[in-house]
Amino acid sequence: MRSPRFDIRAKKLRTIFSPQNIERIWKEKVKVSMRDQFMCDGIENFDFHVSRKVESQKLSHLILSGDYVPQKAQRILVEKSKGLCRQLVIPSIRDAIVLQCLSDALYSEIKGKAPTSKAFFEPKDHKFSSPPSGYGTFAAWLNFQKELFEFSKTRKFVVVTDIANYYDSISYVHLRNAIASISGVDECVIDMLIYVLGDLLWQPDYTPRIEVGLPQINLDAPRLLAHCFLYELDSYLASDPGRDFVRYMDDIDIGVDTIVDAKRALKTVDLVLQTKQVRLNSGKTVILTRPEAIRHFRIFENARLDSVQASVDHRVRHGLPLDRQRAHVEARIRQGLRKKSFDAGNGEKVLKRWLGLAAKTGAVVKPEALEDLVKRRPSVRENVYSFIRSRPLTPSIAGILARASQSGLLVDDAAMVEMSNYLVETFVKNKRCHAMLEAVIASNDPQSYFGLYSRLWLLSKYGTPAQILTTLRDARNIWSPHERLGRLAASFMPLFHGSPEETPLKRLLGDTLNSGVRDTYKFHMKLATDLPTFKAMFDALKAPNPSRGTGITHAKFLCLLSALKNPAAPVAQITTLRANHSRAFEDAYYKEISKRVGV
């Protein structure tokens, strides 16, 4: 029920949540952000995209009438190191849009009001790629590195520290006070942000809510609040001209000239933070001499990487051979792993950059080295998977993934989820890897939420309709209560066209009364029969995805199967879709699927 003052408070919200702004936020930001979440949507949320005007009006009305409630969020465990995991929240589309609208509104009000230029954060709408640490943007991280480089050359000591359990320790009372002190911030914006984020917090075993902690989400909103929370600390650090400092989210580096100054800085910073009920992480706090700081931050190595990156980009742009650069990248990775030079300081960040260059140059990395990285370096796994996806799958590479998946060392949810996401978009020339792929599929526990997701997603490319149907039947109690898994199950409909399992699948899906099943099934049916839906999807479907080994995302391929079956579609446009995705139809498994369903 609304309070009598709701209409007054909602005045600002009417602009933020107008249907036009919601639609813009979806098209420009959230559509891409949802593709970056750990779980792939089986139809890439194209049903929402096609109906975005109506959906934007519905969401606007829901919010401005005071009836909006965040949906139950799914949480995924992501290993940091040694089996310790962080929880990341996977939001619904509507919650992601609400958070992004509020975040944009807040950012427009606080931009330019930071107490210092030494703390770095930029929202993702600046179109930079994901940062190494998972916070903010790559641009902000680069600016942080440049500032750090400057004072590490002049100061005798550098203090490196961060805040213990930062997101989990932020008090909403202190957060609200910190944001409210910034002039121009509307009360209703910060209140609604905290309301939504608070509802996405982990509340296990029906325990009562505690007003502490920001959920970690791959969106701007929690990052922006966490950044602003430390403005008071920034003011304090900037008040002393006798030291330099730079901050990137909760990573704080301070340049001083004596050990006494270093210890005094740590003591006072910790006391300032204690006033907000957070503390420095003593286990990650070090005082480095200038030479140690240069080694820790890999300053010269990063400079070398910048040079190699520029050379590779130039040669790719002009179609020049990359033989010399490829050999250099191979040698750097090989020597770094042998000498364990990636083990300390920012070594893993450097390793990630070398792996990115290896993918770009076609460099070879030994399978046993990749296997060790997957098993023992959680922060590098996604980069290894991306490297593997950059070239056709071979039995030796499929073998290392099978062994890693069966090793028991991948203790988090994200390791197998990401492996599945990258594997379905890896180009496979023939069936020589099939036994290893089956081993990867079998390693996923279908009685767990993410194990079932990974198994089904892999089966949708590398399995048969009978295997998919059997898995769905056996795990019905796991997926049928959940909208996301319901959407996944219904997204496989095109794979069953004309098969003996088609009718049993329709019956199984219909019996669940799952809203995700209903929406996705309806979308596939319209895409396969309705001309307006085909036309609305044509531009999205015809665009290839060159970063994928198959040249197309797996979810888009499933949609493509439905579109190619549409009898009302113009022949010329069907021909265009086939031609633009010729690479996908050369994949051994996609070729088999397309023949089976008759496209």
Hey, is 345 helix, strand or coil?
coil
> Which range (288-292, 443-447, 467-471) has the least confidence?
288-292
Hey, is 252 helix, strand or coil?
strand
pLDDT confidence of residue 242: 87
pLDDT confidence of residue 126: 33
Q: Name, of 113-122, 176-185, 338-347, 413-422, the range with top average pLDDT.
A: 413-422
Cβ neighbours, 10 Å, residue 498: 10
Tell me: pLDDT of 141 over 90.
no
pLDDT confidence of residue 187: 85
Tell me: pLDDT of 438 over 70.
yes
Q: Which of the four pLDDT bands, split at 50, 70 and 90, describes residue 4? A: confident
Q: Which of the four pLDDT bands, split at 50, 70 and 90, describes residue 1? A: low
Phi-psi region of 574 (alpha: psi -120 to 50; beta: other; left: phi over 0): alpha
Kindly report, residue by residue over 349-405, the tens digit of the pLDDT: 999 999 999 999 999 999 999 999 999 999 999 999 999 999 999 999 999 999 999
Greater model confidence, 138 or 152:
152
Q: Mean pLDDT, to the nearest integer, of 245-269?
A: 94
Tell me: pLDDT of 332 over 90.
yes
Hey, is 251 helix, strand or coil?
strand
Edge-first strand order for the sheet with 157-162 is: 119-120, 244-248, 251-256, 157-162, 286-289
> Which range (99-113, 493-507, 581-595) has the least confidence?
99-113
Q: Which of the four pLDDT bands, split at 50, 70 and 90, describes residue 122? A: low
Tell me: pLDDT of 259 over 80.
yes
Tell me: pLDDT of 130 over 50.
no
Helix ranges restricted to H, 52-125: 52-64, 93-110
pLDDT confidence of residue 137: 55
Is residue 511 within 8 Å of 486, Cβ to Cβ?
Answer: no
> Which range (247-261, 445-459, 571-585) has the least confidence?
247-261
DSSP string, 517-528: HHHHHHHHHHHH
Tell me: pLDDT of 208 over 90.
no
Cβ neighbours, 10 Å, residue 264: 13
Q: Mean pLDDT, to the nearest integer, of 33-61?
A: 96
> Which range (148-162, 316-330, 569-583) has the least confidence?
148-162
Mean pLDDT of the chain: 92
Tell me: pLDDT of 525 over 90.
yes
Q: Mean pLDDT, to the nearest integer, of 158-183?
A: 91
On the CB side of 11, CA atoms within 13 Å amount to 5
> Which range (186-190, 257-261, 318-322) has the least confidence?
186-190
pLDDT confidence of residue 184: 76
Kindly report, residue by residue over 553-563, the tens digit of the pLDDT: 999 999 999 99
